[in-house]
Structure 1
Amino acid sequence: MIMKEIVKKYSVFVMGLYFLAVGIVLIVRSALGTTPISSVNYVLSLNSPLSLGTWTFIVNTLLIIGQFWLIRENKNRQDIIEILLQLPFSFIFSAFIDINMTLTNDLHPSGYGMSIALLLTGCIVQSVGVVLEIKPKVAMMSAEAFVKYASRRYHKEFGKFKVYFDITLVTLAVVLSLLFTQCIEGVREGSLIAACITGYIVSFLNRKIMTRKTLHKLLPILK
């Protein structure tokens, strides 16, 4: 019975990864930029033979290594297991991104209105993924986990450190883009819109729509 419950939890978590990947891909296809967390990966994919999913896995792996560095003076078994678990899930998430980039290869917005519609749809789908990730409480994605351990090590509030982290990623993406092409690629008004509204959408879905009660049939152990 316990094993069945664990399988259900991880199944919902992986489903969340898929929705998150679809949301990111739709935002990319809007041609209005990408999310802060994907900004560096996207710029690198535009300027190299490697795909967005491949760069996502590489960057996530670096973040995993960074987490081991952050806990080097205060290691415990639970933290080590939590960090190591991110590796297979990062691979799955990266594969989901590349699969959906391929599936949407012919998706090109015909005008600015279509771009905005794709962007907003991507934000909603991405938010659904985030909620499905956090409900089972089984694992964290590498970026959020990195912020968690960094904020713990440097005694900062998680939310504030997350803002600093996102700003750093976007700034790095802009710098890399300028170095590669002498212009800014991958960071546009859509990046700002996604950064500003996704958190609110996640909060609304989590409290009003995708509550434990409504998800009970999907994941009975969340009663």
Structure 2
Amino acid sequence: MKNILIISAFYLLGLFSLSFGISLIIKAGLGAGPWDAFFVALSENLGLTVGSWTFIVGFLLILINGLLLKERPDFSALITMFLIGSFIDFWLLIALSGIELNALPFRSFILITGILFCGAGIASYLQSSFARNPIDHSMIVFHKLTGKSLSFSKTFLEVMILIIAFIIGGPIGIGTLLVAFGIGPLIQFFYKPMTSLRTKYAS
């Protein structure tokens, strides 16, 4: 029971950190991360909220990941996408909706803070094998199929979706590049300490 509670804490705190980081990056207005720029573009072009598109695309990725690994799709991951999408809509539409960021140095600080929260959040909830975010599970799938490192796998996929987001008019900027090339190394950086921390308390 103790182990389940500890792992659940890493899972929930990881999703909380990730969704907060994503929202900070979007609010900074210096370019959203590739996936988030993609979701923002879908929201602006087709309607629905950013969180809703996060859930919809996540569902499609669940099917694709299952097909690539020739396994049954992990539909439990819909829980993760629902939580992330709901958290993002909460931050953007409620908690942070009235905040206006004007000064460039402060916007840059918010951007970097958001990226750090994302990296730490992903490394945290990956400690649990339950209901992984299909976006990050795609990183694991690519890693398994190619043998490349987690850092390379994440960065490669980020660049691919960046191109798509740019084509459909997503909010691309310097922040987008920082996220595309920074999240992978940050996950690698935070993953071992998170694993050690989880092992310490869940053993």
TM-score tier, shorter chain, comes to: 0.7 to 0.9
Residues 34, 190 of structure 1: 8 Å contact kept: yes
- 1:173 is aligned to 165
Distance 2:185 2:192 in 1: 11
Q: Secondary structure, in 3 states, of the residue corresponding to 1:212? A: helix
Distance 1:163 1:198 in 2: 7
Over the aligned positions, Cα root-mean-square deviation in angstroms equals 2.5
1:116 aligns with 2:114: no
1:61 aligns with 2:51: no
Residues 34, 180 of structure 2: 8 Å contact kept: yes
1:171-194 deviation digits (Å, cap 9, x = unpaired):
1111111xxxxxxx4111111112
1:165/1:51 CA distance change after superposition, 3 Å: same
User: 80, 85, 91: which is aligned to 1:100?
Assistant: 91
**How far is the alpha carbon of 1:158 from its aligned partner?**
5.3
**Stretch deviating more after TM superposition (111-120 or 42-51):** 42-51
- 2:82 is aligned to 91
Residues 9, 138 of structure 1: 8 Å contact kept: no
Distance 1:9 1:211 in 2: 11
Residues 14, 122 of structure 2: 8 Å contact kept: yes
Structure 2 stretches lacking a partner, 5+ long: none
- 2:174 is aligned to 189
**How far is the alpha carbon of 1:85 from its aligned partner?**
1.9
**What's the TM-score, normalizing by structure 2?**
0.85
1:61/1:186 CA distance change after superposition, 3 Å: same
Q: Secondary structure, in 3 states, of the residue corresponding to 2:196? A: coil
- 1:127 is aligned to 119
Percent of matched pairs sharing the same residue: 23
**How far is the alpha carbon of 1:156 from its aligned partner?**
5.2
Q: Aligned residue pairs: how many?
A: 201
Whose radius of gyration is greater, 1 or 2? 1
One-letter amino acid of the structure 2 residue matched with residue 132 of structure 1: S
- 1:15 is aligned to 13
**Stretch deviating more after TM superposition (196-205 or 23-32):** 196-205
Structure 1 stretches lacking a partner, 5+ long: 178-184
Distance 1:200 1:16 in 2: 17
